[in-house]
Chains A and B, each alone.
Chain A
Amino acid sequence: MKLSVASGKGGTGKSMVAANLACTLAMTGPVTLVDCDVEEPNLHLFFPAPAITRDVTVPVPVVDEPACDHCGKCGKFCQYGAITVLRDRILFFPELCHSCGGCTLVCPKNAIHEEPKRIGTLSTSAPQPGLKLITGTLDTGSPHAVSVIREAKKEAEHDPVVIYDTAPGTSCSVVETLVGCDACILVTESTPFGLHDLRLAVDVAARLSVPAGVVINRSDGKDQATLRFCTDHDLEIMMTVPFDREIAAIQSTGNLLCRKRPEWQKDFIALYVKCCTLAGVEQ
């Protein structure tokens, strides 16, 4: 089972849902929780534990200057403007490079090879029995979030139950996380912002053919517009969490609802069962 937790809008409670779901499920079997919000990963704050950390790198071109005759083919080929060839030297802008390898392919002199460049890290820990946490962290200043996400997902690809926490938004980072998932939980809040962005997130999941269901978080009871949207789009509301200052305080101080209020465990198990049904996967 590969399950992602996404939202469109930021701050709706993706990490809260992912962390509680993983923590509850790990009490009965192995679970891998992967933080794919690599620009601002937060799950490790809820699961402090010693971690093994390694670098995530991408290949970037290095020019062997003596072999280069400055023909300019690499610069002309690069779709990202990362290479500028001058009469007597080459300028390379690593932050624009997508590591496609095109420049090495087109160089007639074989004067370009690739070397790894660090863009982030991957940390793996075992914060509680049954639970493996993988955190992808993008180095600050690096624009290459997608490569870190790809690496983080690869680390968990053979694990039986994997929960991915997704970045907010609907762009490439979200696509990279959702692709290949069996199901997706979309966490929303009942405001026009939450609904506007839920609509976009539903669209992304549909384009990727990932079945989606909805969790309404911090509900103040005025959920009518969200309920109507979900009915119209055949989306199941799989769970509703009320607005409650105590729940907010549990979350903001780095504690987990399922630990502080164990009566919530059955709700998270029920949520997982619904996700399995949605995905058509045996539990």
Chain B
Amino acid sequence: MIRIAVISGKGGTGKTMITAALAHLLNESLVLADCDVDAANLALLLDPRPIRTEPFMGMKSAVIDPDICTGCGECGVHCRFNAVERDGDIYRIAPLRCEGCAVCVEVCPAAAVAMQPRQSGEILYAETARGHLVHARLVPGAGNSGLLVHAVKKMVLEQDKDCALFLIDGPPGTGCPLISTISGVDIALIVTEPSIAGLHDLKRVVEVCRPFRPRILVAINKFDLEGSLTGTIRAWCTGKDIPVAGLIPFDPAVIEAVRNGMAVTHNEASPAAQAIQILKTNLEEELTHLGNQR
């Protein structure tokens, strides 16, 4: 199985749109995962039929028993996450701020605090026209997004490890969900856009990827909106020996396709679809190369 993650650094560059289009075009057997677990959108383009849903239990969370709490405040003194709030004469834990460290349990002289399991989200296993999809819903505001990414990938490997390709729609940023996403991937396809923010964020995400040693490819979305910056990005990629595998033009057909809940490549004549066809051909060359190496 070859693992491909579509990532970006900067948000909103077109990761999900490109993931869905590649899933539509690639011929190999594949399984899909949406690792942007706190704002997951891939399912909106794939018309999934749910197979089953599993609860995702994140870290345990501290809970203060109001009948036992004496209001001494030791928990608040030691909590480093500002998760202890005053509640009249006693204290309570703000669940969205609690990181589950259990220090409050340790320091409470009245033994009024206990760690309790909490559901931080759910993992959804579904069928699509292009193979199985594993996606997730993080409880809004919950932590543990990196753990949930890990759980999503684990389900794919348990259920669909015989597929030729594992295609991941990744999260923006460079923090724990991104690190959890790229660990173990063979190819990182970075989608950027011709803006100074796009270039800045591309540089940072490449730096985060390097230690994981994936093959890095870049696609520049809406490349024609700011031609000179596209040139700057291409030159930077050349200098870093990173192939630019796709140049996708600004195309109203993309928004139209998103509104219709489908991949833009269903509209074969659209300029974006034709450009993604070339990206797919370049990606296939990389896949052949990787396959030969194994």
Contact = CB atoms under 8 A, between A and B. Distances in A.
B171 interface: yes
B138 interface: yes
Interface string A76-103: 0101100000000000000000111110
Contacts of B12: 9-12, 168
Given A9-B39, A10-B11, A254 B173 contact: no
Given A196-B41, A204-B141, A169 B226 contact: no
Given A10-B172, A192-B258, A252-B194, A175 B97 contact: yes
A53 interface: no
Contacts of B255: 191, 220
B100 interface: yes
Interface residues of A, number: 57
Contacts of A200: 38-39, 140
A100 B99 contact: yes
* Chain A, interface SS category: loop
B38 A169 contact: yes
A28 interface: no
A179 B143 CA distance: 14
Interface of B: 8-13, 16, 36-39, 41, 44, 59-60, 78, 80-81, 96-97, 99-103, 106-107, 138, 140-146, 171-179, 193-198, 200-201, 204-205, 207-208, 211, 225-226, 229, 252, 255, 258-259, 261
Contacts of A102: 101-103, 106
Contact of B225 (A45, A138, A196, A249): A249
Interface centre among A169, A207, A208 (most CB of B within 10 A): A169
18 contacts: A11-B172, A40-B204, A140-B204, A142-B175, A143-B176, A145-B175, A168-B39, A169-B173, A170-B140, A171-B143, A171-B144, A175-B143, A179-B96, A192-B41, A192-B44, A220-B252, A220-B255, A252-B225
A277 B140 CA distance: 26
Contact of A170 (B99, B138, B178): B138
B101 A193 contact: no
Contact of A40 (B101, B138, B173): B173
Q: Which of A105, A106, A168 has the most CB of B within 10 A?
A: A168
A173 interface: yes
A201 B44 CA distance: 17
B259 A10 contact: no
Interface in A162-184: 167-175, 179
A188 to B, nearest CB: 11
Nearest to A41: B200
B226 A105 contact: no
Nearest to B95: A207
Contacts of A208: 96, 141
Given A40-B9, A100-B99, A252-B193, A105 B175 contact: no
A171 B138 contact: yes
Interface in A1-29: 8-12, 15
Contacts of B178: 39
Given A40-B9, A143-B175, A143-B179, A191 B226 contact: no
Contact of A169 (B8, B101, B145, B196): B145
B141 A171 contact: yes
Given A171-B37, A171-B142, A193-B44, 5 more contacts: A11-B12, A12-B11, A106-B106, A145-B173, A169-B172
Contacts of A8: 39
A166 B35 CA distance: 20
A9 B174 CA distance: 16
Given A9-B12, A196-B44, A245 B225 contact: yes
A106 B141 CA distance: 30
Given A168-B12, A170-B140, A140 B174 contact: yes
B117 to A, nearest CB: 12
Nearest to A251: B195
A140 to B, nearest CB: 4
